[in-house]
Amino acid sequence: MTQSTTRTTNVAVTTDFDAVVVGAGFGGLYMLRKLRDELGLTVRGFERAPGVGGTWYWNRYPGALSDTETYLYCYSFDRDLLQDWEWDTRYVTQPRILSYLEHVAARYDLKRDFQFETGVEAAHFDEAAGRWRIRTDRGELCSAKYLVTALGLLSATNLPDIPGLERFTGERYHTGAWPSNVSLAGKRVGVIGTGSTGLQVITAIAPEVAQLTVFQRTAQYSVPVGNGKVPQAEIDAIKRDYDAIWARAKRSMVAFGFEESTVPAMSVSEEERQAVFQRAWDAGGGFRYMFGTFGDIATNPEANEAAAAFVRAKIAQIVKDPETARKLTPRGVYAKRPLCDSGYYATFNRPNVSLVDIKENPIREITAGGVVTADGVEHALDVLIFATGFDAVDGNYVKIDLRGRGGRSIREQWQRGPTSYLGMTTTGFPNMFMILGPNGPFTNLPPSIETQVEWISDCVKHAEQHGAQSIEATAEAESAWTATCADIAAQTLFAQGDSWIFGANIPGKPNTVMFYMAGLGAYREVLGGVVREEYRGFELRHSSNVGRERAVAAG
**Which residues sit at the interface with ligand NA7, rule CB under 6 A?**
154, 160, 192-198, 217-218, 337, 358, 387-390, 500, 505
Binder of residue 155, out of ligand FAD, ligand NA7, none (CB less than 5 to 8 A by kind): ligand FAD
Q: Residues 425, 430, 432, CA angle at the centre, nearest 5°?
A: 50
Task: Tell the smallest beta-carbon distance from residue 231 to ligand NA7 (Å).
Answer: 28
Q: What is the largest CA-CA distance in the chain?
A: 78
Q: Are 273 and 465 in contact (CB under 8 A)?
A: no
353 binds, among ligand NA7, ligand FAD, none (CB under 5 to 8 A by kind): none
Residue nearest to ligand NA7 (CB): 195
The residue among 66 and 469 lying less far from ligand NA7, judged by its C-beta, is: 66
500 binds, among ligand NA7, ligand FAD, none (CB under 5 to 8 A by kind): ligand NA7
Closer Cβ to ligand NA7, 248 or 337, answer by number: 337
Residue from 319, 336, 262 nearest 296 by CA: 262
What is the Cα gyration radius of the chain?
Answer: 24
The beta-carbon contacts of 272-277 under 8 Å, at least 24 apart in sequence, are: 273/306, 274/310, 277/306, 277/307, 277/310
Helices (H), 339-430: 344-347, 410-413
Residue 149's SS3 state is: strand
Nearest approach in angstroms of CB 506 to ligand NA7 is: 8
How far, in Å, CA of 263 to CA of 197, rounded? Answer: 31
Interacting residues with ligand FAD (CB under 6 A): 22-28, 46-49, 54-55, 57, 59, 64, 66-68, 73, 119-120, 150-152, 154-155, 176, 197, 396, 400, 435-436, 444-445, 449
For residues 544 and 525, give the distance between their C-alpha atoms in angstroms, rounded to a whole number: 34
Least Å distance between CB 481 and ligand FAD?
A: 20
Q: Which helix (H) or strand (E) holds 278?
A: helix 270-283
Residue 27 touches which of ligand NA7, ligand FAD, none (CB < 5 to 8 A by kind)?
ligand FAD
CB of 75 to ligand FAD, least distance (A): 11
**Beta-ladder partners of 120:** 136
Nearer to ligand FAD, 23 or 370 (CB): 23
Find which of ligand NA7, ligand FAD, none residue 19 binds, CB within 5 to 8 Å per kind.
none
To ligand NA7, the closest distance from the beta carbon of 363 in angstroms equals 7
Contacted by 49, from ligand NA7, ligand FAD, none: CB < 5 to 8 Å by type = ligand FAD
Contact between 123 and 400 under an 8 Å Cβ cutoff? The reply is yes
Query: Is 193 or 537 the residue whose CB approaches ligand FAD more closely?
Result: 193
Q: Residue 418's closest CA among 431, 429, 405?
A: 429
Of residues 33 and 48, the one with the C-beta less far from ligand FAD: 48
Cβ distance to ligand NA7 smaller for residue 341 or 382: 341
Please state, in angstroms and as integers, the Cα–Cα distance from residue 524 to each residue in 29, 519, 528, 532, following that order: 21, 9, 6, 12
Among 518, 246, 470, CA closest to 527? 518
Shortest CB 423 distance to ligand FAD, Å: 12
Name which of ligand FAD, ligand NA7, none residue 194 binds, using a CB cut-off of 5 to 8 Å depending on partner kind: ligand NA7
Binding-site partner at residue 388 among ligand NA7, ligand FAD, none, CB < 5 to 8 Å by type: ligand NA7
Distance CA 186, CA 363 (A): 24
State in angstroms the smallest separation of the CB of 66 from ligand NA7: 9
Among ligand FAD, ligand NA7, none, what binds residue 195 when CB lies within 5 to 8 Å by partner kind?
ligand NA7
Cβ(280)–Cβ(307) under 8 Å? Answer: no
Question: For the chain, what percentages of helix, strand and coil (3-state, to nearest 5) are there?
Answer: 35, 20, 45
User: Least CB distance from residue 387 to ligand NA7, whole Å?
Assistant: 6
Query: CB-wise, 455 or 500, nearer to ligand NA7?
Result: 500
| Dist CA 338 CA 277 (whole Å) | 14
Exposed, middle or buried: residue 259 (CB in 10 Å: 0-12, 13-18, 19+)?
exposed
- Least Cβ distance, residue 193 to ligand NA7 (angstroms): 3
Nearer of residues 82 and 363 to ligand FAD, judged by Cβ: 82
